[in-house]
Amino acid sequence: MNALPRWLRSARVLMGLTIITTIALIALLAPFIAPHDPNEQNLISTFLPPAWVKGGDTAFPFGTDSLGRCVLSRLIYGARIAMTVAIVASLGAMLIGAVLAHIAGYFGGTLDWLIGRTVDVWMSFPPVILSLILMVGLGIGLRNVILAIVLVDWTRFCRVLRSEVLVVTRRDYVAAARLIGFSHWRTITREVLPATLPLLITLVSLEMGIAVIVEAILSFVGMSVGATTPAWGQMIADARQYIYDSPWSLIFPILMIFVTVLGFNVLGDGLRRTLDVRVTETQRT
């Protein structure tokens, strides 16, 4: 027996975890590592290229934007929004989706039909437009961004998990637990949930990547946290107008989103490969 659990020995999981932990640390320690206030304007030195390019200034390692704000500092503070949204929104969506999925899959019948049709109707709205409409209704702000993502994306969890719950519920050990005298609650938490948990964890890590993208889209159209809080999508929107004068301030936020989403996806893929019994069982045989 190895001391490390199987999933921690996977290269994908390790790589994903490294990327995510780094970005999370950057977000946590933003006030200490950012060289400037992210909103501090320096109108004399606008459109500065990164320090290593000719004409760069070492005071602004990644250069400045149209208002002379430090790109690096804005990226660092932007990570805070991205990570908060990624974690809180995906956990929120998971909670609603997983609870409904377990109810639908375990009890079946009318409840299953009702939840299934709700998901169908919900999913027939284009997700980005639905979240935009929600943002218009709710107003901008971090809490509302999270709420909008949760309200749109719980269906993803519900649909995928429901079928898994359905499979597990048909197992004889679930029937055996009922015969032994387990209550429904105990049967779900002790017998069904442990079997669906690997899928749940995998879905959460993939959803985190999706949440980062949705937040970037919302802030790109100015429907996220407001102009005073730096966010990656917003930075892209600002830099878009000066793409020929100063491509750098466009490239950096795009790179950040890319790396973050990649990190979550690699982590999710690694977890799926190591936790999903259907994959690991076939490999063992």
Partner 1 sequence: MSLLVANSLTVSATLDGEHVPVIRDLSFSLAPGKVLGLVGESGTGKSMVGRTVAQSFPPGFAVSNGSLSFASADLVTMDTEARRALLGREIAFIPQEPLSALDPVMTIRAQFDEHLARIGVAARDRRERMLELFEAVHLPRGAELLARYPHQLSGGMCQRVLIAFAFASRPKLVIADEPTTALDVTIQARIVRLIAEMQERENTAVMFITHDLRLAAQVCDDILVLYAGRTAEYGSACNVFAAPGHPYTRCLQLANPAMRKRRELYALPERMPGLRAYNAITGCAFAPRCPNAISECTRAPPPLAEIGASHFAACIRAARTADIAAAAVSPTENRAADATILDVSGLTKRFASGGLFRRFELTAVRDVSFTLRECEFVGIVGESGSGKSTLARLIVGLEEPSDGRIAIVGRQMDGSRDAAEHRRRHVQMVFQDPQSALNPRRRVGGIVTQPMEPSGASREDRLARAGLLLSEIGLPPEVAMRYPAQLSGGQRQRVNIARALCAVPRILIADEIVSGLDVSVQAQLLNLLAALRRERQFSMLFISHDLSVVRYLCDRVLVMYRGELVESGPTEQVFATPAHDYTRTLLAAVPPDDPAEVWQALSA
Query: Judged by CB, which is closer to partner 1: 114, or 277?
Result: 277
Query: Judged by CB, which is closer to partner 1: 197, or 243?
Result: 197
Q: How far is the CB of 205 from partner 1 (least distance, A)?
A: 21
- DSSP calls for 47-76: SPPPTTSTT--TTSTT-B-TT--BHHHHHH
Give the span between the Cα atoms of 51 and 252, in whole angstroms. Answer: 13
Query: Judged by CB, which is closer to partner 1: 176, or 227?
Result: 176
Q: How far is the CB of 191 from partner 1 (least distance, A)?
A: 6
| Cα torsion 59, 62, 63, 68: sign | negative
Distances (CA, A) of 80 to 25, 39, 84, 159, 232: 10, 15, 6, 30, 10
Which residues partner with 70 through β-bridges?
Answer: 64
The residue type found at 204 is V
Query: Judged by CB, which is closer to partner 1: 177, or 214?
Result: 177
Residues engaged in binding partner 1 (CB under 8 A) = 171-173, 175-183, 186, 190-191, 194-195, 277
Q: How far is the CB of 271 from partner 1 (least distance, A)?
A: 17
Query: Judged by CB, which is closer to partner 1: 94, or 174?
Result: 174
Q: How far is the CB of 173 from partner 1 (least distance, A)?
A: 4
CA 223 to chain centre: 18
Q: How far is the CB of 177 from partner 1 (least distance, A)?
A: 7
